[in-house]
């Protein structure tokens, strides 16, 4: 509700909780492409976006569904290992388009240490993109590889009812959650081999 003549109605996307215009202005004024990381409950999306006068242009995009369709990913697509692989894929695609640096755009996500958006960042960094960041925000290596999930599965194995409930999505794909780190490495190698020499093959 307006309280006096000086009150300004926030922009629609700010009212809807979609855009932080102060943060966006700073990102656009950097003059660099933005690595936009967004997550849903079941998926992660990573895009390299360039701001133009007529609107944003998406240079490259990567989605966790690609991991399943093209690279053999069998685990759920909303976890940290999947987020990392999505960032890696986006970074490798960006390099084939000549993109060498970017700034991270996490939108209205809370910048929580080790969050999925920072797993996307870690993947893009490992792909060779130069992105300003704080090392303290990146997920630990064992979480990126899914070792924490494998360890939890081992501890839960004695309770088969709970085990079946927690890991039903893995078991549907005939993937033992204890083998997630090995599966992660296999898919990572598949992605890297598809971009040998910086060119998608």
pLDDT tens digits, residue range 144-191? 999 999 999 999 999 999 999 999 999 999 999 999 999 999 999 999
* Per-residue pLDDT band at 56 (split at 50, 70, 90): confident
CATH 2.30.29.30 applies to domain 13-198: no
The reported pTM is 0.87
Query: To which residue do tokens 């003059």 refer?
Result: 31
- Mean pLDDT rounded to a whole number for the chain: 89
Q: What is the pLDDT of residue 7?
A: 79
Check residues 162 and 29 and name the one with the higher pLDDT. 162
Q: What percent of the chain has pLDDT over 70?
A: 89
């Amino acid at each position: 509700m307006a309280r006096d003549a000086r009150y300004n109605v926030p922009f629609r996307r700010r009212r809807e909780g979609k855009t932080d215009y102060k943060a966006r202005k700073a990102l656009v004024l950097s003059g660099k492409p933005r690595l936009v990381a967004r997550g849903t409950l079941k998926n992660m999306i990573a895009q390299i976006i360039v701001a133009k006068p007529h609107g944003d242009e998406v240079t490259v995009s990567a989605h966790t569904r690609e991991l399943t369709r093209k690279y053999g990913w069998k685990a759920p697509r909303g976890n940290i290992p999947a987020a990392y692989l999505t960032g890696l894929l986006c970074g490798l695609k960006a390099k084939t388009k000549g993109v060498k640096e970017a700034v991270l755009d996490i939108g209205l996500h809370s910048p929580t240490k080790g969050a999925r958006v920072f797993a996307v960042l870690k993947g893009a960094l490992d792909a060779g993109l130069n992105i300003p960041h704080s090392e303290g925000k990146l997920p630990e290596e064992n979480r990126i590889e899914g070792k924490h999930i494998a360890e939890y599965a081992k501890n839960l194995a004695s309770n088969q009812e709970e085990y079946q409930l927690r890991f039903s999505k893995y078991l549907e794909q005939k993937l033992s959650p204890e083998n997630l780190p090995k599966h992660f490495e296999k898919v990572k190698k598949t992605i890297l081999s598809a971009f040998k020499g910086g060119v998608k093959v």
